[in-house]
Structures are given as structure tokens and as C-alpha cells.
Chains A and B, each alone.
Chain A
């Protein structure tokens, strides 16, 4: 068995996918990071201090992990969801009673979303209290604050989609806050967001597009820059 595995590791097919040998020496361990698309955001060596769990609590990585969970569950939810009133609500009911594991899927998406808001906020606090916003990382802190706002917006736009009383009035309260913007700006911004004067079907479609496409794409771009700068500034 062991011999067979070793033969596999040495075969041309395996070597064409993973260009390095087994991570048995420091050289191949470095190559495992260096030659791997997903790992190459990391340097091959990191400071011992920064891998101590109680220094970062893994909060930045967990935020990204939650985002991945949300994309996966969100994509599956999109299969069963139509953003029109009142169909959106009946689709929720179908998820609950008809779709296999539909309720579980929705639970997972919901709780991961709430967790992400909290974890991203905690990540910001960790970065502040360890002084990790100091030069030269000023701008990465700014991107991080924008990512926090983006996370909240993602969560909030998703809040309307079930089209139940909770989401309808939650969004109504929020958009009424926007209406308070001075210089007549409030009315315009809230009309732009809702596609009307009250929360209706237009608002549902707009929030759906914002939630499933526009804000995630923006968030992914910001995240890529965020990670890239973490690395460039000497982090993990």
C-alpha cells in the first residue's frame, strides 16, 4: 500500500498537478506553499509570533471562512428562490417544508451571516488593540473599515429577501433612517434603493441584485486587496 502511494506521488500525472514532492524537508514544505495557487498568498515562512492563536484569534481568517460558507449556502439557496412578491415568501415556505435540507440550508446561511458581522467587528477590535493599524498599514485599516461596512450591507440587503414581516419592517425602519438625510438627499437615496417610495417588489429585486451580485463582487475585490496588502506589509 505504502509502495503504491509512493508510486502515485512519483507518477507524471501527480507531479503535473503538484509540482513538489511530499512535504518532508523544509525545501518541499516551502514549495508546498510557493507552488500552490491557494496557499501562495502566504509567505513560505512566517513569524512565530503571528501563528500563536491567542494573538489574532484567527478572526480575519474566520471572517473569510464565513464568507466562503455564505457563498456556498447562498448559491444553493438561489436555486430555490425567486425575488418577486409574494412568491419569495412561498419559496421560503417551500425551503422549510418541501426542499430536502432546505431549512438547514437557510439556517446555515442565516447564522453564518450574523456570525460574520460579529466576527468582522471583533477582527477590527483585535487589529486596533494590537496596534496593527500603524504605518505602513494605514490604508489596509481603511479597506478593513470599508469591508466592515460592506459586511453589514450584505447582511442587511439579505434581510429583506425572505419577505416576511420581520424583513419588511426591518428594512422599512432602516430606509426611514436614510430618509432623515439632509438637503432632500434622503428622499432621493431611499427612492434609488427601493425603486419607489415604500418597500415593495422593486425594492425586493434591487436588494436581491445588491445582495447576490453587486456587493459580493465589491467585497471580493476589497478582500483581495486586503489580503494582498497584509502580505506585502509583512504579515501572514
Chain B
């Protein structure tokens, strides 16, 4: 078993005449790192902040000079546009609404997403830095296949191909380091990715795919349209 702490002795008389520190696992990064190089905040950081802010304002001004914010006709409750779309950051959700019943797509899935995000740092599995296949690869594989199988089955049942295809593709990529075990290159890099990394990457890709479909590929009656047929 790993020790919960490590003893460190610093005998650099300039820094600490004699120091004995017990460093537990749950400590700030600044305690763990032994001798990180430091720079003065002014000007090193402050100048960068000012430049970043100014570049951002310049870019915003340029966009605002040339692209006008949309303004349609006055709100009219009697005239429903087809399709009626929410702002872009909700179009992933609206796309879900197309597949699942409103309770699932509009309430349960977004709530679960927020809860899952909040819970990330409180679960040991998300704090692991080892690749997902490093410990107990056999058991991991069984659990992985069962989980992916169930998720894929549900997605297939509701015909959510927009989620099913990325899910299967990512699962296949996750399996590469299990099959190949090469150390270097891309395969080696994939092998060092922890499970939490994969789950987050899966979530981001799904979110991007759904939002893109909802924004660019959905027209009247929420039917599939290509962007060159018009963006609704």
C-alpha cells in the first residue's frame, strides 16, 4: 500500500534552518512542489493580463463593427416560427428533446449533467492519474463492455444515432491501448489517459455534436437539413 505521507527534510540554511515536513496526500500543489521557479507578478503576470484583455476588446469591437446582432419582427404569440429554436447553447438539449420524452431530455439529463460535473472532484476515480487499463485490465474490460453495451442499447432503442455513433467510436478508441499495449506514440499516450479523462472527452464530444446538429442541421418540423439548404 502507498504511504499516506512522505517525509522531507530541507537543510538549505538560507531557506529553512531545519525543516521536517509531513506531506499528506491531500495538500495544496504549492506544498508538494519542492522548488518551483517564481517570477514577480508585476510585470510578468499583470502585463499579460492587460494585453489579453485589450486583444479581447479589440476583437469584440471589430466583430461588433461588422456583424450586427439579430433583430427580427416584434414578438407575436400568434405566429410560431418553424422551427422555434432556443439560443445555441440550448440547442443540444433541444436536440435531445427530439429523441427522448420531455422529462428525460428537458429535466433529467441536464440535471444529471450538472450534478455529475459538481461531483467530479469528490470521487476517487476522478482523482486517479493512471491510465484506465493499468490496474485490473480484465475486470475493467468487463465493466466497460457491460456499461457501453447498456448505453448503446438505450441509444439504439430511442434511435439517438447522433449520440450512438460518437459513443461507439470513442469506445473503440478506448479499446486500442487495451489491445495494443504499445508504450510510445499515440497509442502509448492513449494508454496513459485515466477513465475520468475519457468520460469528460465523451461528454464534450457528445455536447458539441448535439449542439452542432441542433444549430446547423435542423429545419422545419425539426427535420434534417443541410447547412447549405439554409440555417434555421
A residues contacting B by CB (< 8 A) are 23, 26, 29-30, 32-33, 39, 42-49, 51, 53, 58, 61-62, 65-66, 69, 85-86, 89, 92-93, 96, 103-104, 106-112, 114-115, 117, 124-125, 128-129, 131, 133-138, 141-142, 145-146, 149, 152, 155-156, 159, 162-170, 172-174, 176-182, 186, 198-199, 233-234, 236
Q: Pick the contact of A170 from B28, B87, B97 — CB < 8 Å?
A: B87
Q: Which residues of A contact B36 (CB under 8 A)?
A: 47-49
Q: Which of B5-13, B15-23, B49-57, B155-163 contacts A (4 or more CB under 8 A)?
A: B49-57
Cα–Cα, bound, A4→B73 (Å): 60
User: What's the A-B contact tally at a CB cutoff of 8 Å?
Assistant: 209
A58 and B39 in contact, given A137-B121, A177-B102 (Cβ under 8 angstroms): no
Q: How many of chain B's residues touch chain A, expressed as a range?
A: 35 or more
The 10 closest A-B pairs by CB, nearest first: A180-B102, A168-B75, A234-B30, A177-B106, A107-B64, A138-B121, A110-B69, A169-B84, A165-B72, A48-B37
Do B49 and A163 have beta carbons less than 8 Å apart? no
Other than A45-B39, A125-B204, give 20 A-B pairs with Cβ distance below 8 A.
A29-B41, A45-B41, A58-B48, A58-B49, A62-B56, A93-B71, A124-B117, A138-B121, A141-B120, A156-B90, A159-B87, A162-B71, A164-B74, A170-B84, A170-B85, A173-B86, A180-B103, A181-B103, A186-B107, A236-B41
Q: Which residues of B contact A177 (CB under 8 A)?
A: 93, 97, 102, 105-107
Cα–Cα, bound, A129→B87 (Å): 27
Q: Which residues of A contact B71 (CB under 8 A)?
A: 92-93, 96, 162, 164, 166
What's the dominant secondary structure at chain B's contact region? Answer: helix
Cα–Cα, bound, A142→B117 (Å): 8
Q: Pick the contact of A61 from B37, B38, B40, B53 — CB < 8 Å?
A: B53
Question: Smallest CB-CB separation from A138: which chain B residue?
Answer: B121
Within residues 43 to 63 of chain B, which ones have a CB less than 8 A from any CB in chain A?
43-46, 48-49, 52-53, 56-57, 60-61, 63
Do A111 and B97 have beta carbons less than 8 Å apart? no
Do A47 and B37 have beta carbons less than 8 Å apart? yes
Do B87 and A133 have beta carbons less than 8 Å apart? no
Within residues 141 to 195 of chain B, which ones have a CB less than 8 A from any CB in chain A?
none
Cα–Cα, bound, A230→B132 (Å): 29
Cα–Cα, bound, A66→B70 (Å): 20
Cα–Cα, bound, A109→B89 (Å): 17
Q: Which residues of B contact A141 (CB under 8 A)?
A: 118, 120-121
Q: Which residues of A contact B121 (CB under 8 A)?
A: 133-135, 137-138, 141-142
**How many whole Å from B127's CB to the nearest CB in chain A?**
6
Do A236 and B45 have beta carbons less than 8 Å apart? yes
What's the dominant secondary structure at chain A's contact region? Answer: helix
A106 and B114 in contact, given A33-B41, A39-B46, A133-B121 (Cβ under 8 angstroms): no
**How many whole Å from A202's CB to the nearest CB in chain B?**
14
Do A51 and B39 have beta carbons less than 8 Å apart? yes
Cα–Cα, bound, A66→B38 (Å): 29
Do B75 and A163 have beta carbons less than 8 Å apart? yes
A164 and B204 in contact, given A45-B39, A47-B36 (Cβ under 8 angstroms): no
Cα–Cα, bound, A114→B89 (Å): 9
Q: Which residues of A contact B14 (CB under 8 A)?
A: none
Cα–Cα, bound, A130→B80 (Å): 45
Cα–Cα, bound, A198→B61 (Å): 36
Do A165 and B79 have beta carbons less than 8 Å apart? yes
B27 within 8 A of A: yes
